[in-house]
Structure 1
Amino acid sequence: MKKINSKLIFISVIGLSLFAGSCNKDLLNQEPTTELDAASFWKTEQDATFALNGAYADVRGLFDRDYYYDGHGEFVRVRGQAPSGHDYEFCRFNPSGIGSAFSTMWTALYGGVNRTNYVIENVTKMLATAKPSSVANLEATIGEARLLRGMVYFRLISLWGDVPYLGNVITDNTQVSSLSRMPLAQVKDSIMADFTYAFEKLPVVAPAAGRAAKPAALAFRGKLQLFWACWNKNGWPELDTFTPDAAVAAAAYAAAALDFKAVIDNYGLTLYKNGEPGSIDALGKADILPNYFELFQPTANGNSEVIMGFTHGVTGTGQGEELMRDFGSRTSENSQAWVHPRYEIANRYQSTITGDFTTPLIPMDPSGAGRTTPNSAVNPQSYANRDYRMKSTILWDYEMMMGLSALAETGYHPWIFKKWGAVEKINGVNYTTVNASDVNSGYLFRKFVRDYPGNGRNYGNLTWPVMRLADVFLMYAEASNEVSGPLPEAISVVNKVRHRGNLPALAASKTADKFAFFSAIEQERIVELIGEGQRSFDLRRWRALSRVWGAPGGDGKWTINTQGANVTRYYQNLAELAYQQMYIFQIPLAERDRNPNLTQNLPWR
């Protein structure tokens, strides 16, 4: 049997294995499983399901570390480029200078395309001879595979615009060595067809944990239409083959709103614990944390808010997630804090009393009056009466977290910026402070960090939320606002998201017109979805880089820390071209060297 060339153009050979996940690096010299003998496989519904599960395992690795993308925004720092060992390797996640560093992701995404095509192609063949009683299940299997394929292509066009489209299994270079890029609109239509087929064929309720059902397909179709509307409204000048159309934008916003409304109204889905905020402990304590914190713990797996999520296994399965390793500190199973909040996020958490922003924090030196000065960033009392999602998401000075080591609890530890593993006496008790010397903002994440023992830093079993109902609420509000301005239904669902933070309903001034309401929606997207990889894509589809970082050629923006020091300056004196390269990524040069028909995106020519 012929072996696959390890330099397959576009296609990651990783994605061709039926049995292994996308991180297996030993497949280049294996026999291609795309040539499995049909006599020994593709005979039963169980065969189809087995292959589909393999596709899920492969595609999962393309999305379950999307939190790295938040490093492209202004509220989360990702230290350098992503760690090695997975599909995000060699991708850069700083706020600038990133568009040329995604060749690995391009390859991995096309591996996901080929893997899903493998399932779609072979299960479609099974339909020709299937028993009538098996047809619905086989069509649902194709629907799930097409949903996964649509998700992968959606990510491809979001980063690169026009991309080659592969609708069948690829086994050698000659099948792709001369492919051209398909125009954005055509790829979008193919993704729409995948999502629509999935919606029509999938069951109302998923057959197993980690599998998709109708609401997932409908939510992704709505999201695709929302992005399509944004590109047509705001333009995408860096993609010179695309001409925006205001009428197309209006129609797409309306269609997106209808899909999101159907998800909200037709399937009995609710926010975690019905969106109630739960209880909260006093400042400096962590025995009682709000429901929003629980939502991102494995104990909440299976809740109806997660419309689609990728499941993970624990120690010994080889399928664990690494959220603790990336979000946690040395005090949490010797984790590495690859991802942590920037100082700028703290001022986004509103008052539970007024429902609006508080007086901005003042960075101060803690050795002087900083610990007692009102609104000081190092005064713990400055964080009183804030959105419950704040305590659920970040740690500020003297907030406690449970330490974990060798799969056991080590007791509570206070977070105190720049005191790494020191002994600190608090109320007469000696504590060892949290050790996270790589954090430079003054804050550490609590979100996604397990606070109970049993698994190591690389072996979490959280179901990673690819699509949440709260996100659907906010996307519905955004899409309907573009069509009709602030509708009562849209205001209501935004207030439901706010309620989980124990915030009062939006004031009338926040919904006075579509511009004020959009600002309120953006605010909720920032605090609700932080660390989930959404901000980067929001900034691009809204064309908001200049709004966030300043105009080209300007002074840019310093990020700072709680003690008043400048940390990093971004976008200083950057030319317009540098901004353009943030909006659309470079077609990998190695792929263009192998295929002269691949054109390059405008800012990279």
Structure 2
Amino acid sequence: MKKIFIPILALTLLSTGCDVLDKNPLPSITPENFFTSADDAEAGLTAAYDALQGAGLYGQDMIVVGEMPSDNCTSANGDVAALENITWNSTTGQVRSIYRDSYIGINRANSILKYVPAIDMPEARKNQILGEARFLRALHFFNLVKLYGGVPLRLEPTETGTTEVLNLSRATVEAVYAQVIQDLTTAEPLVAASNATRVTQNAVNALLARVYLTQRQWAPAQAAAGKVLSGGALATSFKTLFPADNKSESIFEVQFAGSNDGGNILPDLLLPSPPATYSFPKFSIPTLYRPQASAQPTDLTFVVDTLSDKRWSFQGVTNAGRDHASYVDGGRGTGNDDGPFVYKWPGNPNGFNSPDNTYVLRYADVVLMYAEATNELSGPTADAIAKLNLIRQRAGLAELTSASPQAAGKQALRTEIDRQRRLELAFEGERWFDLLRYARHEQADPSANHAVTALDVIKAQRKTATADVNYLLFPIPLDELNTNLNVQQNPGY
């Protein structure tokens, strides 16, 4: 699915020829008369996948929002200052774009789910298309509920601008999660068992595991993750995972084809120049010590092992600088291009048109989810330790045993699992979401303790005596409030 062609449902039809003025005008394309054939169904599904590439989603903002507010990253770029300082409001660019682009993706999935069932085509392929559309809708709603709380649960395509359609009230958080789970459980038997570039049963179960983990439903999280782990394995080398390109450990990634589809703009936003096309303050700079920076106790500086951890140790010199797999030390002497930079999109940026894909789900993440759910269910079991050791050993770290300090009890292993998630998945857009769920875990279960939560970061960045819990959610964008009169703003905004 590397090359993506997008059907535009509302395009104007043009005809050519000497007698063009003598022809009757052709009707406009509408969802009702577009979805009439198997080819239309395939084109509609391609458009639904294409929505993931939007700058408000995995083409930029989902990754930036997943890292920039966290303790993993910093930046001198004004475009992300509100995220780093946790001063966002209802008009902040990323707050608006994620909400908007998520609903664009939802609307495309809804059109498929409404019209494709009536198309005369092979039933097996029809069911796969419907299952993939349900997965995509679930992914969008899951991202929305994590960031904004309860949102309007739009389950039909928005085809008119009437008041009845636009003014849809917010559903509860519980109702949104219920819909996400329903979509995923419905999708699982419909989608393919394997497909390198599309939604598969492993992708459905990996996302289900993440949803259940976010809700602190440990048993179903463990079960869903276990289905994925039963038929897979980690790649031998962490370094070979990047750039993402549908490799063995990939479960689901957003596909980019460079200039053929507009490409992925992340590498140019993250890398020093060269290889990035331009020199400017980058979006997400790792919080690794630089002489001109003031290191903080929560920074990566105090967590990573740049000598023996293969995810962070020196790998060699590239045109971007000194390669450490997860990050690269740039050193061009030009200010903007000195210091550490994210290096999980190491392909040629190609002028904001990189062909590098973006991981949404990969096998190591599922291993860590399984270990976490197992530990929360029954403490530091041999099973949980064994799964965590898969991650540690690939990184070149010593194997843990039940006698290891990191596995001395549920709390000790919880801390180590948190730490390995941070080290393994750094810069892949998960750290802030992990910190959010750690905060909510502690709120729901006072006996639980995480070394760092979103509330710790909120307090530090906003420089307040106590953390403002309102910043565990984004505000509803002002655009939505102005358009949808039934939507109320989140508290504190």
The answer (yes or no) to whether the contact 1:260–1:472 under 8 Å persists in 2 is yes
Match of 1:331 among 274, 290, 299: 274
SS of equivalent to 1:444 = strand
Aligned amino acid, residue 601 of structure 1: N
Q: Give the superposition deviation at 1:34.
A: 6.9
- Where do 1:396-415 residues align within 5 Å? 400-403=317-320
User: Closer, same or farther in 2 for the Cα pair 1:555/1:465, shift >3 Å?
Assistant: closer
Q: Which amino acid aligns with 1:599?
A: Q
Query: How far apart are the structure 2 equivalents of 1:447 and 1:178?
Result: 41
Query: Does residue 97 in structure 1 map to residue 14 in structure 2?
Result: no
Give 1:92 deviation, angstroms. 4.2
1:472 counterpart (347, 354, 366): 366
1:537 — aligned with what?
433
Q: Which residue of 2 aligns with 1:297?
A: 243
Q: Distance in 2 between matches of 1:141 and 1:111?
A: 18
**Alignment pair present for 1:54 and 2:65:** no
Query: For the residues of structure 2 that align with 1:511 and 1:144, how far apart are their CA atoms?
Result: 39
Alpha-carbon distance between aligned partners in 2 of 1:76 and 1:485, rounded to the nearest angstrom: 31
Is the contact made by 2:44 and 2:108 (CA closer than 8 Å) also made in structure 1? no
1:284 aligns with none
Distance 1:33 1:477, change over 3 A: farther
Matched, 1:262 2:262: no
Aligned residue number for residue 159 of structure 1 = 147
Offset, 1:439? 6.3
Partner of 2:286: 341
Within 1, Cα distance between the matches of 2:27 and 2:98? 22
* CA shift in 2, pair 1:555/1:159, >3 Å: closer
SS at match of 2:68: helix
Q: Using the TM superposition, give the Cα deviation of residue 18 of structure 1 relative to its aligned residue in structure 2, in angstroms.
A: 5.4
- Determine whether 1:183 maps to 2:141: no
2:99 is aligned with 1:106:
yes
Contact kept in structure 1, 2:389 and 2:399, CA below 8 Å: yes
The one-letter amino acid paired with 2:226 is: K
Moved more, 176-185 or 542-551: 542-551
Q: In structure 1, how many angstroms separate the alpha carbons of the residues matched to 2:27 and 2:184?
A: 29
Alpha-carbon offset, residue 322 of structure 1: 2.3
Does structure 1 conserve the Cα–Cα contact (< 8 Å) formed by 2:59 and 2:265? no
- Quick check: 1:527 aligned with 2:470? no
| Counterpart-to-counterpart distance in 2, 1:225 and 1:184 | 14
Residue 196 of structure 1: which of 185, 192, 214 is its match?
185
CA contact (8 A) 1:80 1:92 kept: no
Query: Where does residue 64 of structure 2 map in the other structure?
Result: 68
Shift, 1:325, TM fit: 0.5
Q: CA deviation at 1:497?
A: 1.0
Aligned match for 1:216, one of 189, 194, 203: 203
Please give the secondary structure, in 2, of the residue aligned with 1:466.
strand
**Does the 8 Å CA contact 1:80/1:94 hold for their aligned counterparts?**
no
Q: Secondary structure at the match of 1:223?
A: helix
| Unmatched tracts of structure 2, length 5 or more | 15-25, 289-298, 443-449
Counterpart AA for 1:347: F
Distance 1:109 1:124 in 2: 23
Per-residue deviation, residues 461-482 of structure 1 (Å, max 9, x unmatched): 2221100110111111111111
Q: Is the 8 A contact 2:86 2:458 kept in 1?
A: no
| Residues 310-364 of structure 1 deviation map (CA, whole Å, 9 limit, x = unaligned) | 11113x31331123202211121434433221122133124xxxxxxxxxxxxxx
Equivalence for 1:236: none
Map of 1:109-124 to 2, 5 A cutoff? 109-124=102-117
In structure 2, what is the Cα distance between the partners aligned to 1:414 and 1:602?
44
User: What is the SS of the residue equivalent to 1:104?
Assistant: helix
> What whole-Å deviation, never above 9, does each CA across 1:216-258 have from its counterpart, x for those lacking one?
01111121111122xxxxxxxxxxxxxxxxxxxxxx2111111
The equivalent residue for 2:20 is none
What is the correspondence of 1:317-466 to structure 2 with a 5 Å cutoff? 317-335=260-278, 336=280, 337-343=282-288, 344-350=299-305, 383=306, 385-391=307-313, 400-403=317-320, 433-435=331-333, 437-438=335-336, 442-450=339-347, 456-466=350-360
Instruction: Give the structure 2 partner of residue 244 of structure 1.
Output: none
Structure 2: which amino acid aligns with 1:260? A
User: Does residue 313 of the first structure (1) align with residue 257 of the second (2)?
Assistant: yes
How far apart are residue 190 of structure 1 and its match?
1.0
Q: CA deviation at 1:155?
A: 0.7
Instruction: Kindly state the Cα deviation for residue 492 of structure 1 after the two structures are TM-superposed.
Output: 1.4
Give the residue type in structure 1 aligned to 2:213: L
Structure 2 counterpart SS, 1:486: coil
Correspondence for 2:407 among 500, 507, 511: 511
Alpha-carbon distance in 2 for matches of 1:555, 1:339: 18
**1:144 alignment partner in structure 2:** 132
Mapped pair 1:253 → 2:150: no
Give runs of aligned pairs for residues 36-55 of structure 1, distance below 5 A: 36=31, 38=33, 41-55=34-48
Q: Give the C-alpha shift of residue 173 in structure 1.
A: 2.2
User: How far did residue 391 of structure 1 move?
Assistant: 3.0
Contact map agreement 2:212 2:218 (CA 8 A) in 1 = yes
Q: TM-score, normalised by structure 2?
A: 0.81
Q: Which amino acid letter does the alignment assign opposite residue 492 of structure 1?
A: A
Summarize deviations over 1:347-386 as a string: whole Å, max 9, x none: 3124xxxxxxxxxxxxxxxxxxxxxxxxxxxxxxxx4x32
**What SS is found at the alignment partner of 2:336?**
coil
The 3-state SS of whatever aligns with 1:443 is strand
Q: What secondary structure is seen at the aligned counterpart in 2 of 1:492? A: helix
- Structure 1 contact 307–468 (Cα < 8 Å) conserved: yes
* Number of residue equivalences: 443
Does residue 225 (structure 1) correspond to residue 212 (structure 2)? The answer is yes
Rounded to whole Å, the distance in 2 between the matches of 1:193 and 1:307 is 20
TM-score normalized by structure 1? 0.67
One-letter amino acid of the counterpart of residue 52, structure 2: V
- Over 3 Å counting, the alpha-carbon distance change for 1:263 and 1:551 in structure 2 is closer
- 1:496 & 1:555 partners in 2: Cα distance? 33
Which amino acid in 1 is paired with 2:165? V
Residues 72, 427 of structure 2: 8 Å contact kept: no
Q: Is the 8 A contact 2:59 2:266 kept in 1?
A: no
1:93 aligned counterpart, secondary structure: helix
- Unmatched tracts of structure 1, length 5 or more: 1-16, 84-90, 230-251, 277-290, 351-382, 394-398, 404-411, 422-432, 558-569
- Cα offset, 1:112, TM superposition: 1.3
The alignment partner of 1:309 has SS state of strand
User: Residue 443 of structure 1 aligns to which amino acid in structure 2?
Assistant: P
Q: Residues 324 and 449 of structure 1 are in contact (CA less than 8 Å); yes or no, is this contact kept in structure 2?
A: yes
Counterpart residue type for residue 128 of structure 2? A
